[in-house]
C-alpha cells in the first residue's frame, strides 16, 4: 500500500467505502478485507456514511411516473427504455476496425431487409404496435381488477369525504383496517396549481397524520392505491388539504374534504 500515512490496512477502509482508493491499494485492501471480519464491519459502517451524503443534498423529487416505470422493470421483462439509454451511453467505445465491420454487417442486414419486402416490415410494425396497445390495456385491466378486489375484500368500509366547495368535490375512502390499507377515489376536483398538490391526512388521537400527496387528472378524478392506514391509536377522521407538491408534515391550509371514520 503506497504512500503515507497509513499505519494499518484498516486505515484504508474509509477511502475504500467511498470508492476513492487507487487501484493498487484497492486490490491489496480487498485481499485483507476477505479475511478480516473487523475490516468488513468497518467498510459496512463507512458505506452507511457514504449513503448518507446524498441525504443532505437538495434535489428535485423524482417524477411520479418513475415509480410505475420502476415497477415495470421486473426481471425477465424488457428493460426500460431509459436503462438501455444509460447502458448505451456508458458502453466503452469500439475500435475503428470493429466499427467498420459492424457497419458493413448492418448495411448487409438492411439490404436483406429491403429484399424481403417492405410490406412484411410494415406488417411487423403494425403487429408490434398492436402488441404494445394490448399490453397496455392488459396492464390497465390488471390494475382495475386489483382495485376491485381490494374494495371487495371482506371488512372493507366505505366513507364519503364531503366538502362545501363549488363545484362540490367529493371523495370515497375504502378502508381495510385489518390489512392496514386504504384506497382514495376523489372526483370533481380541480387540478392543483403548479407546485401544489392535494394531501390526504388521517386524524389519529385527535391530531393530523400526513399521508400521500396526489393531484386530479384533467377529468377531475384522482385515485390513490395502497394508502397506508395508520396503525394504533384512534383514527377518527380523514381529510384532504392543498399543500406544496412535496407534501407537508402538518396541514398548512384549511380542510378541503373531510369525513369521520367511526371504527364500528
Partner 1 sequence: MSARRIDLAGGTYVTWRMSSTFSASPAGSSDRELMTRAAGGEEAAVGRLYDRYARVLHAVAYRIVGQRADAEEVVAETFAQAWRDAARFEEARGSVPAWLTMIARSRALDLTRARVRRDRATTSAGSEPGPGPAMGTWRSDPGEAVDADERQRKVREALAGLSAAQREAVELAFYEGLSQSEIALRLDEPLGTVKTRVRSAMQKLRDSLSPYFFERAE
Q: Which residues contact 54 (CB under 8 A, 6 or more apart)?
A: none
Q: In 10 A of CB 170, how many CB atoms? A: 17
Binding residue (CB under 8 A) for partner 1 from 161, 214, 221, 264 = 214
Residue located via cell numbers 390489512: 179
**Is 46 a binder of partner 1 (CB under 8 A)?**
yes
| Smallest separation, CB 181 to partner 1 (Å) | 10
**Is 61 a binder of partner 1 (CB under 8 A)?**
yes
Binding residue (CB under 8 A) for partner 1 from 9, 170, 210, 220 = 210
In three-state secondary structure terms, 207 is strand
* Subset of 162-201 contacting partner 1 (CB under 8 A): 180, 194-195, 197
Q: Which is nearer to partner 1, 70 or 113 (CB)?
A: 70
| Smallest separation, CB 29 to partner 1 (Å) | 12
Binding residue (CB under 8 A) for partner 1 from 64, 99, 102, 141 = 64
Distances (CA, A) of 198 to 67, 163, 202, 239, 241: 19, 14, 14, 10, 6
Q: Which is nearer to partner 1, 122 or 246 (CB)?
A: 246
**Is 157 a binder of partner 1 (CB under 8 A)?**
no
Q: Which is nearer to partner 1, 6 or 188 (CB)?
A: 6
Distance, in Å, from the CA atom of 228 to the CA atom of 173, rounded to the nearest integer, reads 12
In eight-state DSSP terms, residue 232 is: S
Q: Which is nearer to partner 1, 1 or 156 (CB)?
A: 1
253 closest CA partner among 182, 165, 159: 165
Binding residue (CB under 8 A) for partner 1 from 8, 38, 40, 99 = 40
Amino acid at each position: 500500500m503506497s504512500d503515507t500515512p497509513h499505519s494499518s490496512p484498516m486505515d484504508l477502509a474509509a477511502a475504500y467505502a467511498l470508492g476513492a482508493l487507487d487501484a493498487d491499494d484497492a486490490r491489496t485492501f480487498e485481499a485483507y478485507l476477505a479475511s478480516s471480519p473487523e475490516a468488513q464491519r468497518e467498510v459496512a459502517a463507512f458505506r452507511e456514511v457514504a449513503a448518507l451524503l446524498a441525504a443532505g443534498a437538495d434535489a428535485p423529487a423524482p417524477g411520479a411516473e418513475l415509480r410505475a416505470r420502476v415497477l415495470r422493470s421486473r426481471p425477465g421483462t424488457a428493460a426500460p427504455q431509459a436503462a438501455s439509454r444509460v447502458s448505451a451511453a456508458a458502453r466503452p467505445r469500439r475500435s475503428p476496425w470493429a466499427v467498420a465491420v459492424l457497419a458493413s454487417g448492418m448495411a448487409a442486414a438492411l439490404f436483406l431487409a429491403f429484399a424481403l419486402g417492405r410490406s412484411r416490415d410494415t406488417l411487423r410494425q403494425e403487429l408490434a404496435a398492436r402488441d404494445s396497445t394490448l399490453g397496455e390495456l392488459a396492464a390497465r385491466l390488471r390494475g382495475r381488477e386489483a382495485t376491485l378486489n381490494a374494495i371487495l375484500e371482506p371488512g372493507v368500509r366505505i366513507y364519503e369525504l364531503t366538502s362545501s366547495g363549488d363545484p362540490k368535490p367529493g371523495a370515497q375512502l375504502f378502508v381495510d383496517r385489518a390489512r392496514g390499507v386504504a384506497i382514495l377515489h376523489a372526483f370533481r376536483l380541480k387540478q392543483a396549481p403548479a407546485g401544489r398538490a392535494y394531501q390526504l391526512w388521517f386524524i389519529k388521537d385527535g391530531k393530523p397524520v400526513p399521508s400521500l400527496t396526489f393531484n386530479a387528472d384533467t377529468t377531475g378524478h384522482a385515485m390513490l392505491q395502497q394508502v397506508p392506514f395508520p396503525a394504533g391509536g384512534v383514527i377518527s377522521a380523514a381529510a384532504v388539504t392543498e399543500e406544496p407538491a412535496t407534501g407537508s408534515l402538518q396541514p398548512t391550509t384549511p380542510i378541503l374534504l373531510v369525513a369521520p371514520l367511526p371504527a364500528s
